[in-house]
Chains A and B, each alone.
Chain A
Amino acid sequence: MRSVRGKLLLLTVVILSVAGCATGEEWNTWYTHRTHFASYDHLGFSVRNTEGGTPRVTRQDIALARDEGWWGKPITVSQEQILER
Chain B
Amino acid sequence: MRGSLHVAAALALVFMTSAAVVAAPQGDRVLPAEQYTTDKGRRLGATHARALHDLNAVLYHCWPWVETQRASIGFYRPKNATQDDRYLSVRIFIEQDASPIFSRLPFEQRAAAMFSRYVGPLLRRMTVSPAVAADPNLDGFTTILEWTKQAAPAGGRPIHETIAVFVDKATAIEYLSGRIDIKALATRARVLGFDGETALGAITLGPTYDDNFVSTYKVANYQLEQGVTCQ
Give the interface of A toward B (CB within 8 A). 20-22, 26-27, 29-31, 33-42, 45, 47-49, 55-64, 66, 68, 71-85
Contacts and interface: CB of A to CB of B under 8 A. Distances in A.
Contacts of B17: 64
Nearest to A55: B221
Nearest to A21: B106
State which size class the interface on B falls in. Answer: 35 or more
B65 interface: yes
A39 B222 CA distance: 12
Contacts of A85: 31, 35-37, 41, 74, 76-77
A83 B90 CA distance: 11
Which secondary structure dominates chain B's binding surface? mixed
Interface string B182-209: 0000000000101011010000001101
A80 B31 CA distance: 13
Contacts of A71: 148, 158
B18 A22 contact: no
A77 B199 contact: yes
A77 B197 contact: yes
A20 B106 CA distance: 7
B67 A22 contact: no
B1 interface: no
Contacts of A81: 79, 194, 197, 199
A27 B109 contact: yes
Interface in B43-85: 60-61, 64-65, 67, 71-72, 74, 76-79, 81
Contact of B223 (A37, A40, A58): A58
Nearest to A42: B97
B81 to A, nearest CB: 8
A39 B79 CA distance: 34
Contacts of B199: 77, 81
A76 B18 contact: no
Given A26-B101, A39-B97, A62-B64, A45 B213 contact: no
A40 B219 CA distance: 6
B113 A30 contact: yes
A72 B156 contact: yes
